[in-house]
Amino acid sequence: MEYDRLIILPCHSIWKGQDTQHSQGQNSSEWFLASFQVEGQDHLCFIDHIKRSFEELKKSPRALLVISGGQTKSEAGPVSEALSYYQLARRILAGPEFNALFDRVVLEEYARDSLENVLFSVCRFYEITASYPEFITVVGFEFKRTRFLKYHLVEALNFPDSRVEYIGNSPTPGSDIDHEHYFSSLEASEQKHALEHFETDLYGIRNPPGEKGTERPIQEASRV
């Protein structure tokens, strides 16, 4: 099979992998989450990202899905975000209709931030296929659309904007949260901690001290 489409699923946390078969990631306690991720019920978005990625994979027989995310949580031990997403996908997408799709899923287990999600996934695609993708789809948070499409894919990689696609969703904070303030703060954080940074430093070369550590402060600050 010749693949020409890369679907990138950037990871944002690590699923703990509960033993019970009833555990499908729906409870926040099943994840290693930062406080802001708990506030936005981000783990529900993660599950949706997985499902949407496989929907795209099913629609495109020449696509390869790369699940991207490194070992970002010391308390999780030597478990990558990508591996935990894959394990959860196996749990929630069980059945014969999905078995063949998993043959077109590979992991990228070193990325620490969104730029590395893109760069390393493209490299992983090349490693598997010995070619570069003609089309790239990213599945993630809607508020990160500009970061991925404009700064990472089009400007940093010089990938034609006519051949990139972004599929996004948004956090769903509870009824006890001021939604207007929540989303305005979310946009302001993305602007300050990500867009302004990559606007002047496309490849993350001149990061402020510590911004490329294992905890990925750039992403943590802007709600990866």
Distance CA 65, CA 86 (A): 11
CB 218 within 8 A of CB 207: yes
Please classify residue 175 by burial: count the beta carbons closer than 10 Å to its beta carbon, then call 0-12 exposed, 13-18 middle and 19+ buried. exposed
CATH entry 3.40.50.2300 includes domain 5-221: no
Write the pLDDT tens digit of every residue in 172-205.
999 999 999 999 999 999 999 999 999 999 998 8
Kindly tell me the sign of the dihedral angle through the C-alpha atoms of 51, 55, 57, 58.
Answer: positive
pLDDT at 95: 87
Start-to-end CA distance of the chain, whole Å, equals: 33
Domain ranges of the chain: 5-221
Q: Where are the alpha helices (DSSP H) in 105-224?
A: 114-129, 145-146, 179-190, 196-200, 217-221
pLDDT at 214: 39
Distance CA 207, CA 201 (A): 8
CB 48 within 8 A of CB 169: yes
Distance CA 26, CA 46 (A): 10
Write the pLDDT tens digit of every residue in 2-22.
999 999 999 999 999 876 677
**In angstroms, how far is CA 223 from the centroid of its own chain?**
11
In whole numbers, what is the pLDDT of the chain averaged over residues? 92
Beta bridge partners of 68: 10, 108
Residue type for 174, please?
G
CB 120 within 8 A of CB 68: yes
Residues in the chain: 224
pTM for the predicted model, two decimal places = 0.92
pLDDT at 206: 82
Report residue 119 as tokens: 């760069």
* Nearest of 65, 26, 67, 62 to residue 47 by alpha carbon: 26
Q: What is the dihedral of CA 205, 208, 214, 220, to 10 degrees?
A: -110
Residue 220 has pLDDT above 70, yes or no: no
Write the pLDDT tens digit of every residue in 139-176.
999 999 999 999 999 999 999 999 999 999 999 999 99
